[in-house]
Structure 1
Amino acid sequence: MVIDKKINAASVRMKSLDPLDRCLELLHFGFRGLTVEADAFLGAQGLSRVHHRILYIIARAEKINIGELTSTLGVSKQAIHRPLTHLFERELVCYTRQPERHRYKLLALTEQGEALEHQATELERETLRQAFAHTDGPGREAWTAVMLALAERLN
């Protein structure tokens, strides 16, 4: 089943320069659609998408230091410094020192950080649930296969 609906998310009329442009647009606008409600929630909290990405990774890492966090996110220590400092100041993230490696800070979410991360992520999960309700098992498997193939390019 091929679905070809027009997307009205672009504020300008766009022409296709290549057969894969439609896929790129769907990926771009699809991601924006996935995150729009979470981003609005985060914005009301004075936070952004990058803050959520940091909280999301820390919440799921058993033990993670700043170097591992930057590597996982694919950003530099300089790029993560400001948003991570903001999360420390807001008391959403805390750290402990590793006894055997005192220079390393092990990051963790505070209770408040856990609650905020959960709320933002749940908004995205609900959006995915609603989107997946429009397809069947093979459609979900195909979507997962494409996303895995794209993610594997990072390795």
Structure 2
Amino acid sequence: MTALQPAGVGVDAYTGRMATSRKTPAGPSSAGNTADLPSAQMKKLVHKGLVMHFMLQLSIGEDADARLITRSMGRVHHRILYFAHFTPGITVSALLAVLGVKHQNIQPPLRQLVQEGYILTRASETDGRVKQLYCSRKGDKLLEFVSGPQRERIQRGYDSVTPADLDSYFKVMAAMLDVDRREWVRRLTELDDPSESV
């Protein structure tokens, strides 16, 4: 999730903390748009962004893995819970589409979540053949348990910057998303309390 830093914000290579700088860079970088940076400098920034995204994805995944393993579960279980909670009533086909996986990839973990009472399935009112997924209260609690360390990591990052820095960070992430993914962001952020249930 880490993005290229907005103008005036840097990351300490050792602590990973972001710090604002009042200095105005010399040359083309003083322009208001990073597109005006020299190509060699932009290439380095893009590389740094990719490295930071990759390493942060590993760290965030590991945060959840440590708790998932205590329930004999993996990342697919977490993703199913996540979408069933934040988009209650999501169909299996929509879940497959957003995750970019085939049905056989989610069948075993979905079956386990249903059998253990974490996920509720209901037939669609408009088409009884379509299965919709919801988190039970038990599922909500599991999602919060698994996501807790991830939230703490993100909170630490937010606490190290200003609200303006954070706004710029969100803008950069949104700009990198394809239109369909931006729509998913809108849908997923409509409900922001994992303790809520259907």
Q: Check if 1:50 corresponds to 2:76.
A: yes
Matched, 1:150 2:158: no
- Matched ranges for 1:46-85 at <5 A: 46-85=72-111
How many angstroms apart in 2 are the aligned matches of 1:149 and 1:99? 37
Q: How far off is 1:154 after superposition?
A: 4.9
Please report the RMSD computed on the Cα atoms of aligned residues, expressed in angstroms. Answer: 2.1
Detail structure 1 runs of 4+ shifted over 6 Å in the superposition: none
Secondary structure of residue in 2 paired with 1:102: coil
CA distance in 1 between counterparts of 2:125 and 2:158 reads: 45
Partner of 1:2, secondary structure, is strand
Cα deviation, residue 97, structure 1: 1.4
Unaligned ranges ≥5, structure 1:
8-17
1:44, distance to aligned residue in structure 2 (A): 1.4
The match for 2:64 among 30, 38, 43 is: 38
Q: What count of residue pairs does the alignment treat as equivalent?
A: 145
CA offsets per residue over residues 15-74 of structure 1, 9 Å max, x none? xxx623221110011122233322211111111122111101100113211111112223
Distance 1:33 1:55 in 2: 20
1:95 alignment partner, SS class:
strand
Residue in 1 aligned with 2:143?
A: 117
Q: Tell which deviates more after alignment, 59-68 or 73-82.
A: 73-82
Return the alpha-carbon distance in structure 2 between the equivalents of residues 84 and 102 of structure 1. 19
Equivalence map 1:89-104=2 (5 Å): 89-104=115-130
**Within 2, Cα distance between the matches of 1:57 and 1:149?**
22
Identity between Structure 1 and Structure 2 (%): 23
String of CA shifts for 1:59-109, please: whole Å, max 9, x gaps: 011321111111222322232222212222332112111243111112112
- SS of residue matched to 1:80: helix
Structure showing greater radius of gyration is 2
- Which of the residues 51, 54, 63 maps onto 1:28? 54
Match of 1:108 among 134, 137, 140: 134
1:3 maps to 2:44: no
CA distance in 1, matches of 2:85, 2:102: 20
**1:4 Cα shift?**
4.4
- Which amino acid counterpart does residue 115 of structure 2 have in structure 1? E
**Structure 2: unaligned runs, 5 residues or longer:** 1-8, 16-42, 182-198
**TM-score (norm: length of structure 1):** 0.81
Q: Normalising by structure 2, report the TM-score.
A: 0.65
The alpha-carbon distance between structure 1 residues 99 and 141, as it changes in their structure 2 partners (threshold 3 A), is closer
Q: Secondary structure at the match of 1:135?
A: coil
Would the aligned equivalents of 2:60 and 2:150 in 1 still touch at CA under 8 Å?
A: yes
